[in-house]
Amino acid sequence: MNKNVGIVIVSHSADVARGTAMMVEQMVGREVPLGWCGGDPDGGLGTNVEAIMAAIDKAWSEKGVAILVDLGGAETNSEMAIEMLPEARRGRVVVCNAPVVEGAVMAATEAASGATLEAVRSTAEELTPA
C-alpha cells in the first residue's frame, strides 16, 4: 500500500503532462504515487476519460488521489472519470483548483510529508489567486 496521497496530472498536451510529472519526480522523488496523461487517443491535443482512469489507477493510494488539470475540458473529463470509479474509491479522489505545474509540485511536496488528501488539496489550491 502507498503511504502517501497520489498525484495525477491531466493536460491537453502529452508533453506538458509528461514534463510536469518528470519535474515532480525530480523534486520529490518516488515517494509519491504519480500518474499522468495528456493528449487525445490520436496524438493530438485533448484529454480522455479512459486515460484519466488509468492514471488514477497508476497513482492510487488508500490515502487518496489529487488530480491537477490544465484546462476546463481536462477538469470535466476528470470529474467524469471520478464518477466512473468504483463507489469505494470515488470519495478519495479530488480535482484541485490550482495551476497544473505549480500545483502538482506543491501537492506532491505536501503528499511526500504524509499529509492527508484534504491538506494536499488545500496546499495546491493556495496557489490560486482569489
The sign one gets for the Cα dihedral 10, 129, 102, 6 is: negative
| 63 part of a folded domain | yes
| 106 part of a folded domain | yes
Integer Cα distance of 107 and 115 in angstroms: 10
Coil, strand or helix at 84: helix
- How many structural domains are present in the chain? 1
Range of the domain at 67: 6-125
The domain that contains 110 carries what CATH number?
A: 3.40.50.510
| 83 part of a folded domain | yes
* Strands of 12-109, DSSP E: 34-38, 65-69, 93-96
8 A C-beta contact, residue 38 and residue 12:
yes
| 15 part of a folded domain | yes
| 92 part of a folded domain | yes
Count CB neighbours of 25 within 10 A.
14
pTM of the model: 0.95
| 34 part of a folded domain | yes
End-to-end alpha carbon distance in the chain? 36
Checking if the pLDDT of 2 tops 80, the result is no
Integer Cα distance of 59 and 87 in angstroms: 17
| 130 part of a folded domain | no
| 95 part of a folded domain | yes
Span 73-130, pLDDT tens digits:
999 999 999 999 999 999 999 999 999 999 999 999 999 999 999 999 999 999 766 5
Q: What percent of the chain has pLDDT over 70?
A: 96
pLDDT of residue 89: 96
8 A C-beta contact, residue 53 and residue 81:
yes
